[in-house]
């Protein structure tokens, strides 16, 4: 079955330090991978996606993610964390066998807390 795992419920990092939010996936075929961020009382906002091509993908707000096919991972990274980055982050994969559903399979989310 297709699945996405975010092994950390929460990641704590000091402002100015690099951050990594981990994501691994299990799908058959080539995955379409996404990262979304959710701020309190807001909907999900798209950060970046990997469809094909360069394994390092750059997105909004200085975030980037690295696709690693051999490790089936798509970790989200940022060189220098900001307090305003504190939010809930979701990794998602588009179900390659979803057909017309356009369904995203989401991880359970990782709460990023950046301390000043």
Task: List binders of another protein among 31-50 (CB under 8 A).
Answer: 32, 34, 36, 41-46, 49
The site that binds another protein (CB under 8 A) totals a number of residues, namely 25
22 vs 49, beta carbon nearer another protein: 49
Residues 6+ apart with CB under 8 A from 52: 30
With CA atoms as reference, report the closest residue to 53 among 78, 83, 30: 30
State the minimum distance, in angstroms, from the CB of residue 108 to another protein.
Answer: 5
The answer to whether the beta carbons of residues 114 and 81 sit under 8 Å apart is yes
Interface characters, 87-106, with another protein (x: CB under 8 A)? ---x-x-x---x-xxxxx-x
State the minimum distance, in angstroms, from the CB of residue 79 to another protein.
Answer: 23
13 vs 109, beta carbon nearer another protein: 109
| Maximum alpha-carbon separation in the chain | 45
Question: Judging by beta carbons within 10 Å of its beta carbon (0-12, 13-18, 19+), is residue 2 exposed, middle or buried?
Answer: middle
The answer to whether the beta carbons of residues 35 and 65 sit under 8 Å apart is yes
Give the footprint of another protein on this chain (CB under 8 A): 4, 32, 34, 36, 41-46, 49, 51, 90, 92, 94, 98, 100-104, 106-109
């Amino acid at each position: 079955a297709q699945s996405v795992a975010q092994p950390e419920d929460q990641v704590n990092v000091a402002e100015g330090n690099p951050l990594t939010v981990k994501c691994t996936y299990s799908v058959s075929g080539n995955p379409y991978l996404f990262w979304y961020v959710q701020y309190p009382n807001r909907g999900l906002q798209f950060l970046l996606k990997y469809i094909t091509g360069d394994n390092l993908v750059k997105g909004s707000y200085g975030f980037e993610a690295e696709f690693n096919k051999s490790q089936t991972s798509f970790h989200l990274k940022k060189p220098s964390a900001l307090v305003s980055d504190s939010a809930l982050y979701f990794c998602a994969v588009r179900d390659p066998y979803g057909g017309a559903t356009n369904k995203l399979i989401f991880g359970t989310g990782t709460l990023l807390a950046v301390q000043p």
